[in-house]
Structure 1
Amino acid sequence: MTVPDVPAAMVNNQFFDEFTDKVRVKPIPWEGYSRAGLISGDDLRELKEYQQAAAAQANREGKDVAQYMGLLVRLTEKLSSIDALQYLLVQVDDIVESGQGGGCGEQLQRVMFRCLEKKDDYLGLKASKILVGAISGSSSAAEAEQRGFAYARLFGYLERCMRSELTSVVDVAVQVMQSALRARRARTVLFGEESAQCLAQLIDVLRRTQQSLMQASGSAPRTRGVVAVPQTQYEVVFCLWLLSFERPIAAALDRRLDVIAITAEIARSAVKEKVVRIVVALWANLLRLAAPANVPAMLVARVPACLATLGAGRSFKDEDLRSDLKQLAEELAEHTGVMTTWDEYLNELASGKLAWSPAHRSEQFWKLHIRRMDEHDHRVVRQLADLLTEPTASETALAVACHDLSQYVRFNPDGKRLLARIGAKARVMALMTTSECPDVRYEALLCVQQIMLNAWRN
């Protein structure tokens, strides 16, 4: 599998582009800086020569461009005026985009990372775009791998941007990350412990897009920092898709961030074909690279039904998308085969995302399968018990787990001894008082009552 070629650092945002155009024509008092000794006379002369050549649209030799690039970086390091720094970074970015930037040297990295610390959103975002473009361009990608480019520092800045109230800042930050994740090492760093908060914030942006859709119908409070919903969804899922090319990440991505459930929700409501296309591409990677880890979650999120609905109910213009939907549905069916209700229950439990599916409320289901819960050293019961202390478990999952343990004791009176031995009884009793969710407290209470009832009967 290969990631298709895209521009080294691509940002397409109307506000960002319009602001860049304004920066280009804003007058900067270079002569005043020279008189004040902030820049040298040679710096001023070289700067004006290049500006005149650019105004005349004259081509400069590669050596001249490299020399001018060095001048721009030096001036960026010397000056502190935001207006001057914005102008210099626009010029640097133009050179990087032209492919004549000369890589991502230590001085360029040092200067651009300092710009990330300035209290100016445009300056920081422009610097981050330059860093990613310089890393990704020509042979500098290999250099960055060898030198250990500070991706974690870059992602820390992008995380702060994604928390912004300004929609344009969020959008540009996501696009910069989208470009950065072309590099394999960037994916590994983003999924690592040091950048965990950045990745979580990326998912938060995705969740906010869904909340924005609910706002349109007046069923949810206003959210912050979300641009045009389809475009933002496409950009964020594109980032997840790039991450999913790494097999270890594909195996852990959903477990950590619940991406299958949220992308299934997005696919069902998406209007734009490109959003559906990138979601399907993400699912395909997750299935092909880490099926055992992701099939249970796909079944819980009803991905097969979603694929069937999209394939039959939508008239997509993209023939490749129609083909991909069919192929993915067939591949997923091969992994699931003919599943019994018990198999579906096991998959749901394995995903850690228990929900109130019909089996949980069915007395017949528990009568039929209660003995199977004790197979393989009571594996199912132990999984339910472990879920009660899982930090990432949802309130619904906790409530359902308490309910299922209650049913286990109801139809297997001796099961109360096992619950006490493995610590499940104590965990359920703790949830009666510590959980903030009424449903969890209620199901925990019923479970404890069932345990006590069986103790009295015995």
Structure 2
Amino acid sequence: MISNVYLSDRSLKIRTLTSILPGRTSTPIVIVIVIVIVIVIVIVIVIVIVIVIVIVIVIVIVIVIVIVIVIVIVIVIVIVIVIIIIIARPALRSQGYQRAGLLSQDDVALIQRVAGGKAQAESILQAESDTYADLYVRLLSKLSRNDTLQYILVLVADFLNDKDDRIPLFLSQNDPYSPLLKHLDSQDDFVRSKSAAVISTVISGDPNPPDGVVTKVLAALSALIRNQADPEAQDVGVQCLGSALRIEKIRTAAWQADSKDDAESSKAITGLVQLLKANPSAQMQYQLGFCFWLLTFDTPIAERINARHNIIPLLADLARQALKEKVIRIVVAALRNLVTKAPTENLPAMLVAKLLPFVKTLASRKWSDDEIKEDVEFLVEELTKSFEGLTTFDEYKSEVQSGQLSWTPPHKNDDFWRDNAAKLNDKDRELLKALVNVLTTAQEPLVLAVAANDIAQYVKFCDTGKNSSSSFNRYRSLDSLGAKGRVMELMNHADPDVKYYGLLATQRLVSHAWAA
């Protein structure tokens, strides 16, 4: 028993001693401490992340607020500017005119009534059209400052646009054209263009406008159309001419002016042709087609326009290149007019321009507009009948008149020239002059080579078997028309074909001159 007590005491001492010895820590306590440290670190990291997120959110909110403030400021500035332009500036201008006695208080009140919303202004204009027609004519005749005129011209355009019933009200005023005519020469581009637009609208509702007005309007529109430095002015000019050409008197005047050789006459139609050759935009294509469609309603114009401007190949190319149906529709309608009004003059030229296969292709397409289908079917029928009755000489004549020469069979066929060379002298050498004109004006090597060949063929076969004086007369005739000098120039041309046929024509001219 004593031994057991001794052992128990000894064991207790050993455990007590062991517990107090250094380096002998309890494992559970270490684990707890580590866990606590990790938890603290995680909490700190989470707090830091939360703080960073909060800071980022605050920064984003601040940026959004700044952007909103900037947008609001910009909107306010724009609104203020618009208000100043719409309300303040006209009021300031009107004060000066009131002091000068050019505007009455009633005039100012009338202007301010239509200076607001478009719907409200239109309601007022509809109810008081007479009053505003009188007001606008008076203001245009009195006012002179460009900024004020711009404002009034915009009001006048709004008053007249798509409102044909208001044009008579404008025309019923005392001398309605003079106030607009004087602004056609303005140094301000906007005033000049807007005046042209307004007067074109007005004149389109006048079946018999004064001759002087027609002349000045056509001169102004011609200047706009031919202003190659300003495409916008050209666009305005073509649109305005499209409005004015609705009147037969203006179509006639435009054609007559275009026919004159003097530099002073307006050349609006020539300007249209130049634009047609310049790869116009789709909208310009339509506007040009519309102008030519209107012009072809007049028989005298339909009879001569292709001979003067070679318009049929240009219209054919326009239709081939067109991507919009409305362009094809207006071109086909113009071609139908040419056939209806002057079939003898235009059908052969259409065949030379290869229109028959093209309109057959159009006939196979589906169209949303029945008018296109009817016009295309008409052209197919008429061109087919003309093609079946066309003689070789008719085909050659149309080719020369079109200026589009190529190596079609007649040019190198001796039998053709033996039978037909003398016909070039008919009607005061009309066809010979046309051939020489092609020779002297063409630039394309193919056309030049064919034209030089035809001169050589004409010299060889015309008046064959007759006395030598006829050969001398042919030589002098071609010399006086400028053919001799031109074919001699072609002997030095860069293209070998042109050079060869120029040499051939020169040799025949010289040999026939010596034979005479």
Decide: shared fold, TM above 0.5.
yes
Match of 2:192 in 1: 124
2:459/2:509 contact within 8 Å kept? yes
Match of 2:378 in 1: 327
| AA of the residue aligned to 1:44 | Q
Question: Of the two structures, which has the highest relative contact order with CA contacts closer than 8 Å and spacing of 6 or more?
Answer: 1
- 1:451 Cα deviation (Å)? 4.1
| AA of the residue aligned to 2:185 | E
2:348/2:386 contact within 8 Å kept? no
Partners of 1:444 and 1:116 lie apart in 2 by: 50
- 1:435 Cα deviation (Å)? 7.1
Match of 2:335 in 1: 283
CA gap of 1:63–1:43, structure 2 versus 1, over 3 A, is farther
2:478/2:484 contact within 8 Å kept? yes
CA gap of 1:356–1:53, structure 2 versus 1, over 3 A, is closer
Partners of 1:236 and 1:22 lie apart in 2 by: 39
Partners of 2:189 and 2:84 lie apart in 1 by: 14
CA gap of 1:295–1:64, structure 2 versus 1, over 3 A, is closer
1:254 to 2:321 alignment: no
Moved more, 126-135 or 177-186: 126-135
| AA of the residue aligned to 1:255 | A
1:354/1:401 contact within 8 Å kept? no
1:369 to 2:369 alignment: no
CA gap of 1:307–1:26, structure 2 versus 1, over 3 A, is farther
Normalised by the length of structure 1, the TM-score is 0.77
Q: Give the one of 425, 450, 459 matched to 1:400.
A: 450
Match of 1:153 in 2: 216
CA gap of 1:360–1:135, structure 2 versus 1, over 3 A, is same
1:251/1:290 contact within 8 Å kept? yes
- 1:455 Cα deviation (Å)? 7.6
**Match of 2:277, SS?**
helix
1:109 to 2:177 alignment: yes
Partners of 2:202 and 2:84 lie apart in 1 by: 21
Q: Give the one of 226, 230, 243 matched to 1:179.
A: 243
CA gap of 1:201–1:374, structure 2 versus 1, over 3 A, is closer
* Runs of 5+ unmatched residues, structure 1: 1-20, 210-225
1:78 to 2:142 alignment: yes
1:244 to 2:296 alignment: yes
- 1:87 Cα deviation (Å)? 0.7
CA gap of 1:39–1:267, structure 2 versus 1, over 3 A, is same
Match of 2:272 in 1: 202
* Runs of 5+ unmatched residues, structure 2: 1-81, 259-264
CA gap of 1:316–1:403, structure 2 versus 1, over 3 A, is same
Moved more, 123-132 or 333-342: 333-342
**Match of 2:176, SS?**
helix
Q: Deviations over 1:101-139 (max 9, x none)?
A: 5233454311111111112222222212221222334xx
Match of 2:315 in 1: 263
- 1:172 Cα deviation (Å)? 2.2
- 1:361 Cα deviation (Å)? 5.2
1:34/1:40 contact within 8 Å kept? no
**Match of 2:170, SS?**
coil
**Match of 1:192, SS?**
helix
Match of 1:447 in 2: 505
CA gap of 1:205–1:457, structure 2 versus 1, over 3 A, is closer
Mapping for residues 61-72 of structure 1, pairs under 5 Å: 64-72=128-136
CA gap of 1:257–1:238, structure 2 versus 1, over 3 A, is same
**Match of 1:271, SS?**
coil
- 1:279 Cα deviation (Å)? 1.1
| AA of the residue aligned to 2:387 | T
- 1:292 Cα deviation (Å)? 1.4
Match of 1:431 in 2: 486
1:385/1:424 contact within 8 Å kept? no
Return the index of the structure with the highest Cα Rg: 2
- 1:374 Cα deviation (Å)? 5.2
Normalised by the length of structure 2, the TM-score is 0.69
- Runs of 4 or more, structure 1, over 6 Å off, are 21-24, 434-437, 454-458
Moved more, 339-348 or 326-335: 339-348
CA gap of 1:407–1:135, structure 2 versus 1, over 3 A, is closer
Match of 1:301 in 2: 353
Partners of 1:341 and 1:156 lie apart in 2 by: 43
Q: Give the one of 334, 359, 362 matched to 1:310.
A: 362
1:28/1:84 contact within 8 Å kept? no
Partners of 2:137 and 2:396 lie apart in 1 by: 60
Q: Deviations over 1:143-196 (max 9, x none)?
A: x43x43512211221222221434333222211111111111110111112655
Partners of 1:453 and 1:61 lie apart in 2 by: 80
Partners of 1:38 and 1:302 lie apart in 2 by: 68
CA gap of 1:322–1:74, structure 2 versus 1, over 3 A, is closer
Partners of 2:178 and 2:368 lie apart in 1 by: 47
Match of 1:169 in 2: 233
The structure in which a higher percent of residues are helix is 2
CA gap of 1:124–1:399, structure 2 versus 1, over 3 A, is same
Partners of 2:439 and 2:83 lie apart in 1 by: 46
Mapping for residues 46-65 of structure 1, pairs under 5 Å: 46-52=107-113, 55=116, 57=120, 59-60=123-124, 64-65=128-129
Q: Give the one of 74, 79, 89 matched to 1:28.
A: 89
What is the identity percentage for the equivalent residue pairs of Structure 1 and Structure 2? 28
Equivalenced residues, count:
410
- 1:255 Cα deviation (Å)? 1.1
1:38/1:78 contact within 8 Å kept? no
Match of 1:40 in 2: 101
Partners of 1:381 and 1:148 lie apart in 2 by: 35
Match of 2:283 in 1: 231
**Match of 1:208, SS?**
coil
CA gap of 1:46–1:336, structure 2 versus 1, over 3 A, is same
Match of 1:133 in 2: 201
Partners of 1:447 and 1:75 lie apart in 2 by: 68
